[in-house]
Each structure stands twice: as C-alpha cells, then as structure tokens.
Structure 1
Amino acid sequence: MTYKSLFVFTCVVALSLTAAFGQITENPRVEEQSAPYVKIKRVELTDEYTIVYMRFVERESPSMKRLNPNFRGMPDFQQRKVPSTSTIGLDPETRLYKPGEIDKKYKLIRAKDIPLDMRKEVYSGDTVNFVAYFERLSPGIEVFDFYEGRSTKETMTWNFYGVHIKNPLKKNAKSTAKVAPKTVKPAPQTPIEQKPEPKIEEKPAAVEDEYVMIKGTVYDSKTKNPIPAQITYFEKGDSLEFKSSSGNYRIGIDPKSNYDFRVLAKGYYGTNFSLAPADSSGKGSFSKDFYLIPLAVGETIALPNIYFETSKFTLLAESYSELDRLAGMMKDNPDIKIRVEGHTDNVGDFDKNLELSANRAAAVKKYLISKGVSEYRIEAKGFGATKPLAKNGSEEEKRKNRRVEFVITQIKTTQ
C-alpha cells in the first residue's frame, strides 16, 4: 500500500469513527425524572435503533414499601439477601417523545435483561443493568422524553424528561426516524410474515389518544427563582405526586379526564389549579407556571375562592377546598399565627359593611378551628370598604374589593 493510499484509508477510518462516536452519548443530562434510583447511563443511535442503556439500584431500607412499576414492596430485614417480593419490569408501551409533540413518538421494540410482560425479582441493594431498544429518533432531535406511563397508588413509573443526546441533523440522510420493517418477497410463509404488521401500526394510535403533557416551573413570587416543589394531582380517584428538585415539572395526563392540581413547597403558601384538557384548544401539551408566596411575617395572601351567601356571612361549600388548604398550611407550620381580614366594596351603609366584613372573617376563623387549628393562632378582623384594591367604579372593580385575605403575624423561630 502506498503512503497516499494509507493516508486516504486512515482519513476514512477517522471520519467513520467520528461519525460513530457522534451517535453515542454517555451519561446524558436529564432535566427531570420520576424515580431517582433509575439512571440512563448511555444512549446509542444506530441506523435502526435508539438504544438506551439503563441502571436500576434497589434501595436499602429497614422498612420500605416499594412502589416501582413494577415494584411492590420488600422490607430489608437483615444485611443479607433474602427472597424478595420486590419486582421490576419495563412496560411494553414505553415510548420516546420529542418534548411537546406527542405525534413525534418512537415505540419500544424490545428490551434486554429486563422483562416486558412479567416481573424480575430484585434484592435489597441489587443493581440491574438493562437495555431498551426503541425506533430510531429522527436526526436533529437532540432532546427527548422517555415516558413509561402514569403512576398509580400501586406503581411508580420510570419517566425521564429532557434527555440531552448527540443526534445532529444529517443533510443527506437516507433514512428517517422510524425505520419501516423490511418487506419480504411473497413466499409460502407470507401470511405468517404479515401478522406482526397490524400490531405495529395500531398501538401508537391508541397511545396518542390517551396521553398529553402539562409542563411548567414553580417559582418564588418575590425573587422569580425556581424552587423545589411537590405537585399532587387527582386522576380517576387516585392521588398522585410529582416531586421536582429544580422546580420544573412535566406530567403526562389523560386528555379525556379533568384534573385538580395542588402545588406545595416548603416555606411557601401553596396553590390549586384545575385543568380540563378536552375543553382546551391546546394540542399535545399545556404550559402552566406557578408563583408561590413565601411564608414571612407581614405577607398578605389572598384567598381567591371564598364565597358567602349574598349580603350574609354564611360560607358556601365552594369555599371549603381553599380553606382546607389554609388549614393544612397552618397544621404543617405550627409556629405561624395569622390575622384573617374581611373586606367589602363601598355599596351600602358604611357601618353595616364593616360589621359584615368582620362577621365573614370570623366565619373563616370558625371554619379553621373546626379543622383542628388552635383558636389562639387566628385573629379575625373586618375592614369594610376602608382598604379597597380598586376604585369601585365598575362591577369588576367592586368584585376585587369584596375579598378575604390573611396576614402572617408571627413565625416563631427555633434555635
């Protein structure tokens, strides 16, 4: 071989290696994930597959009730391996998505070292390395979501949001993301070979109809910085939780169901949010950010969903959810004291408005006491129309002025 030929050969090999390594991402950055004990160690892209290398580590705890998809609870009684009722498995409906675009989905083809239709027993402290083969991601998709499903009371799914990989767009790509099965020339076995094809085409359509994404960030309302938070939501009678250490969240929901979300963060007053995807014009994903007010002395926090009978101080049932949230905050923070404040618009007699606002504040206090909050921690005061938020010039402005708020008057600090 001449030096010139050797040089050309070396360049070709070098370029091929560069291209190959450009399709491998070691320890990819993951923005959020639902289970910290499962890691994505490597993502490899071939002409046919997106190959995800994963590692599961069975947690060690003296009395742990396990809830993985797959995983249902074995206490670790001793520091030795004993037969385990904890199991892991990968849902065969697991798929990859381009964030925010549910039509960009890539099916799970097969898995190695982890079962799809059964459960694999694990022991306390065990490590399980396994591999999942998906359809090939389209060139140019360098961030994807790994979605196994929605958690329930009995199971916790392995979902990864914002997985960053190397997958540059190819100018002259010969193949696209989803590689169709190779056709086979007609033969005596043709009817047998054609059987799998309907299954491949039918399942994604069903999945697309049952999954949309809601995503956003939880912020400190004062600093506008993201804060760690817990989002609780209710689906078909189940109360589900999503914990985010960064404040970012992505949750898969059923577009045919209605949802009530509760957003909580330590040291902040939480909030509620309702969503009916079917009534929205959004397609595939919804965005919702939350700004929580820090619990600090002097903070005034509005109670937006408090309702009374007209011109009376009788609480309506629609108020209970908001007041239950306030009672929960008081119980979680036993060193906090508050002052409940009632306000009215300027319509009618000044003294009667003052009396009405005081009675409404007292009604809120009475309700909180009925929920187990100590009476000495709650002060109630009415201000009538003396502290308007708006000018009372329109019905909308008057509505803003008819309100109930609470002010944090004391937070006892412990050394």
Structure 2
Amino acid sequence: MNLRSLLVFVCTIGLSLHQSFGQITEAPRVEEQSAEYVKIKRVELTDKYTVIYLQFADKGTQPGFSLPPELQDGYFPKNKPDAGSIWLDPDTRLFKPGEINVKFKLIRAENIPTEHTKKVSPGEKVDFVAYFERLSPGIEVFDFYEGRSKPGTTSWNFYGIHIKNPAKKALNKANVTTKTPVPAKKALPAKKETVVPEKPDAVKKEEEEMIVMVKGTVYNARTKEPVSARISYVEKGDTLQVSSSSGNYRIGIDAKEKYELRVAAKGYYGTGAEITALDSAGKINLTKDFYLIPLAVGETISLPNIYFETSQFTLLPESAAELNQLVQMMKNNPEIGIRIEGHTDNVGDADKNIELSRKRAQSVKEFLTKKGIDEKRIEAKGYGATRPLVKSGSEEERRKNRRVEFVITEI
C-alpha cells in the first residue's frame, strides 16, 4: 500500500469513527441565558447521549465578572466562605424551540449533585457534565431548561444553543438494484373493540405541569433599539425576576395560570401586561414585546390602568398597581418633576368636564404625596375634552379620550 492509499484509508477510518460517535461542538453559540456565571463549554452527541460539558465560575474568578442582582446580596454570607451551593435539577430537559413536546430527559450528571446541593467556595470553578437523551438528528438548535427560578435561587437556562447535528441522509433509491417481492396480503380478521387504558399518573402529572415558553424583546419606544431590562412576575405568592442585558427574555410559565408581567429598565418608565397560555391560540410559544418610553423632559406617558368612579374623581382600588409603579419611578429618580394631566371625552358640559379632569389629576397627585413624594415635584392640571386623541364618535373612541397622563417637566 503506497503512502497516498494509506492516508485515504486512515481518513476513511477517522470519518467513520466520527460519524459513529456523533458530532462535537466546542463553545457553542448561545442566544440567551439566565445566569452569566455558568457557561456551556462543549456539546457532544454520541450514539446514545447528548453530553453537555458546563462550568460554574463563582464571582471574582474573572475581570468584570458579577453575579445577577438577585444573588449579589447575601450570596456568600459573611464569615461563611463556603455557604454557596449549586446543584442540577433532575427534571432538567432539552427542548426543541417552539415544540414543547419535543423534549429530551436528563439521564445523569457528573461532578454535580441532582438530589442535594454542593457547597462551593468564593472564587471556585466547578466543571461538570450532564447526560441527556440523544437529540434527534436534524435538531441543530435547542434549549437547556432547568426550570423557573425561586426566591434566592437562579435556574440555569440556556436558549438557542447552536450545535452540529445534521439530519440523516435519505437512502439513494437509485442505488437499489434488486426488489424484494411483496407477498400477497392475507385477509385480516375483524377488528375487536379496544379499550384505551388510563394514562399513567406520571403522564397526567406532566400534562398538568406543562410549561409554556413566553419570549420577546424589550425595546426603546423611540429608537426601537433593545434595552437591558428586568422582568418580574408573581407565581404562587413568590415574586420572581429575570434580568436580560440584551433585552431578549424567555420565561417558562404554567400553561393553566395567569401572570402579570412587569418590565423595568434604568432610565425608562416601566410597563406591564397580563399573560396567559390561552393568548397563544393553541400555539406552544407566546411572543410578547415591550416598548419602554425613555425618561426625558417633554415626554408624555399614559397611565392606562387608572380607574375612577363613574363621573367622579374618586380613585378605585384597581388603580393601585399603576400608581405604585409611578411612585417607584419618582423615588428612583428624585430629580424628576412631572405634570399630571386629566382628560375627558366631549359628552356633557365643557366647563364641568374641565373641572372633573382637574380633580382627577389632583386625586392622582394626592395619592403620590401620601406615598412620600414631595408635592413640589408634582403639578396637576385638567384639560377636559380640549386635547382628544381621536375624534369622539363611538364609545370606544370616547373611552380612549378619557385618560390620565403625566408629562416630565424636569429631570
């Protein structure tokens, strides 16, 4: 065998081994992740497993490194340098994005516990490996989903992991030279009525706990550029938060529950939205983008969830969430001054409408001052029906004109 033939032979053997043991992706690209201090170093696809090599790196191990805000305070209590702990949830799954039912279970983990926690010291690095069921050929982007973070903890979720995992090539029918004779079909006996057995309890539980992925981007409403933001929501009495430096976020929610998302970003007025799985019209993933208005002099910001008694200026309890957000913005930005503006539709006496809108604006001001905001920072003014958003024709259009806004007058 000459040298050239030997090289061809060796390459052929190497290629066959590579195909047999699967694909390896070093430092795969990850679109979004919930914890900066854990990274995926490598993904290896074998005949049986999807093997993910990860590294936990405690704060202080690299320049500019910091834990997320929810873990910075008290993560390592004073005088207890070994008080930090890590573990991998045994219910961690790999998902094909957009197809929550295409999932791959965790089989085992090495160098990290799944049934209890492992203590780590400040500055420590931990390399660990997670073995999952083999990803189906052709899935070259997947999500690593450990779960929803609980107070005091952060789940390690990675979204949009890009790997090499090509689909199997179809057989070349042109190379088939012989045909196997097809035996004659025999008459089949009449079908008997079959009884569908009840689903196992494990399957029922999995369906009851089905998670729907909510994703989206937080934008600057003026420039349409993504902004770093924090998304918070309440689940079973616990307030949970997700921070995103890129503006992109993903949250796993219970398919049967209703959630109120609140979005905040430094230098912007926050907003919120009610989310339920039913909003997806049967789709697995929900997409919800948010647009935040920057805090700048002259900006007019609507307060859509403020309610009054009919034809009165008494605030209803349903207004509390919106008003408390305004209070928090004023406390976080003590240099800001605002003008509360009340507006009505054009039904009724014009002078009475102006007076009603002024009193409603004044009611909002009084709410803020009772919460500790200096009244010198707040002006209240009523415009009645003189500044409509739309022509007051239908009831829906009149409802849009009945509103409360605030204008930033100084900053």
Which of the five TM-score ranges fits, normalised by the shorter chain?
0.7 to 0.9
Secondary structure in 2 aligned to 1:399? helix
Which residues in structure 2 correspond to 1:44-55 (within 5 Å)?
Answer: 44-55=44-55
Deviation at 1:241, TM superposition (A): 0.4
1:164 aligns with 2:166: no
Q: Distance in 2 between matches of 1:10 and 1:95?
A: 38
Query: For 1:4-47, what per-residue CA distance to the aligned partner results, in whole angstroms no more than 9, with x for missing partners?
Result: 75254134135336647971111111121111111111101111
Tell me what 2:370 maps to.
Answer: 370
Query: For 1:180-221, what per-residue CA distance to the aligned partner results, in whole angstroms no more than 9, with x for missing partners?
Result: xxxxxxxxxxxxxxxxxxxxx975763454211100010111
Indicate if the aligned counterparts of 1:66 and 1:73 stay in contact, CA closer than 8 A.
no
Q: Distance in 2 between matches of 1:336 and 1:385?
A: 27
Compared with structure 1, are the counterparts of its residues 157 and 203 closer, same or farther at alpha carbon in structure 2 (3 Å cutoff)?
farther
Deviation at 1:230, TM superposition (A): 0.2
Deviation at 1:394, TM superposition (A): 1.3
Match of 2:109 among 108, 111, 115: 111
Q: Distance in 1 between matches of 2:68 and 2:40?
A: 24
Indicate if the aligned counterparts of 1:102 and 1:208 stay in contact, CA closer than 8 A.
no
1:141 aligns with 2:125: no
Match of 2:92 among 94, 104, 116: 94
Q: Distance in 1 between matches of 2:257 and 2:32?
A: 24
**Letter of the aligned partner of 2:272 in structure 1?**
N
Q: Distance in 1 between matches of 2:129 and 2:262?
A: 35
Tell me what 1:189 maps to.
Answer: none
Compared with structure 1, are the counterparts of its residues 18 and 111 closer, same or farther at alpha carbon in structure 2 (3 Å cutoff)?
closer
Structure 2: stretches of 5+ with no match in the other structure: 62-66, 172-199
Deviation at 1:279, TM superposition (A): 6.7
Indicate if the aligned counterparts of 1:23 and 1:167 stay in contact, CA closer than 8 A.
yes
Tell me what 1:75 maps to.
Answer: 77
Query: For 1:131-154, what per-residue CA distance to the aligned partner results, in whole angstroms no more than 9, with x for missing partners?
Result: 000001111111111111111114
Indicate if the aligned counterparts of 2:20 and 2:47 stay in contact, CA closer than 8 A.
no
Indicate if the aligned counterparts of 1:49 and 1:135 stay in contact, CA closer than 8 A.
yes
Tell me what 1:329 maps to.
Answer: 329
Compared with structure 1, are the counterparts of its residues 370 and 67 closer, same or farther at alpha carbon in structure 2 (3 Å cutoff)?
closer
Tell me what 2:33 maps to.
Answer: 33
Q: Distance in 1 between matches of 2:261 and 2:87?
A: 29
Q: Distance in 1 between matches of 2:302 and 2:47?
A: 57
Tell me what 2:124 maps to.
Answer: 126
How many percent of aligned residue pairs carry the same amino acid?
A: 63
In the comparison of the two structures, how many residue pairs are matched?
375
Q: Distance in 2 between matches of 1:44 and 1:75?
A: 37
Compared with structure 1, are the counterparts of its residues 340 and 21 closer, same or farther at alpha carbon in structure 2 (3 Å cutoff)?
farther
**Letter of the aligned partner of 2:77 in structure 1?**
P
Secondary structure in 1 aligned to 2:318? helix
Indicate if the aligned counterparts of 2:22 and 2:46 stay in contact, CA closer than 8 A.
no
Q: Distance in 1 between matches of 2:206 and 2:83?
A: 30
Which residues in structure 2 correspond to 1:258-297 (within 5 Å)?
Answer: 258-278=258-278, 281-297=281-297
Query: For 1:234-261, what per-residue CA distance to the aligned partner results, in whole angstroms no more than 9, with x for missing partners?
Result: 0000000000000000111111222111
Structure 1: stretches of 5+ with no match in the other structure: 174-200
Q: Distance in 1 between matches of 2:228 and 2:166?
A: 33
Secondary structure in 2 aligned to 1:16? helix
Query: For 1:32-85, what per-residue CA distance to the aligned partner results, in whole angstroms no more than 9, with x for missing partners?
Result: 111111111110111111000011123359xx99988xxx953364xxxx7723
Tell me what 2:306 maps to.
Answer: 306
Compared with structure 1, are the counterparts of its residues 204 and 2 closer, same or farther at alpha carbon in structure 2 (3 Å cutoff)?
farther
Q: Distance in 2 between matches of 1:259 and 1:296?
A: 30
Q: Distance in 1 between matches of 2:78 and 2:205?
A: 40
Tell me what 1:184 maps to.
Answer: none
Secondary structure in 1 aligned to 2:231? strand
Indicate if the aligned counterparts of 2:214 and 2:286 stay in contact, CA closer than 8 A.
yes
Tell me what 2:190 maps to.
Answer: none
Q: Distance in 1 between matches of 2:129 and 2:363?
A: 59
Tell me what 2:181 maps to.
Answer: none
Normalized against structure 2, the TM-score is what?
0.85
Runs of 4+ in 1 over 6 A off after TM superposition: 64-68
Secondary structure in 2 aligned to 1:306? coil
Deviation at 1:86, TM superposition (A): 2.4
Q: Distance in 1 between matches of 2:389 and 2:92?
A: 51
Secondary structure in 2 aligned to 1:351? helix
Indicate if the aligned counterparts of 1:28 and 1:42 stay in contact, CA closer than 8 A.
yes
Q: Distance in 2 between matches of 1:67 and 1:208?
A: 31
Deviation at 1:168, TM superposition (A): 1.5
Q: Distance in 2 between matches of 1:375 and 1:247?
A: 34
Secondary structure in 2 aligned to 1:367? helix
Q: Distance in 2 between matches of 1:310 and 1:115?
A: 59
Compared with structure 1, are the counterparts of its residues 208 and 225 closer, same or farther at alpha carbon in structure 2 (3 Å cutoff)?
farther
**Letter of the aligned partner of 1:396 in structure 2?**
E
Q: Distance in 1 between matches of 2:297 and 2:312?
A: 31
Indicate if the aligned counterparts of 1:32 and 1:249 stay in contact, CA closer than 8 A.
yes
Q: Distance in 2 between matches of 1:371 and 1:282?
A: 43
Indicate if the aligned counterparts of 1:66 and 1:74 stay in contact, CA closer than 8 A.
no
Q: Distance in 2 between matches of 1:409 and 1:66?
A: 31
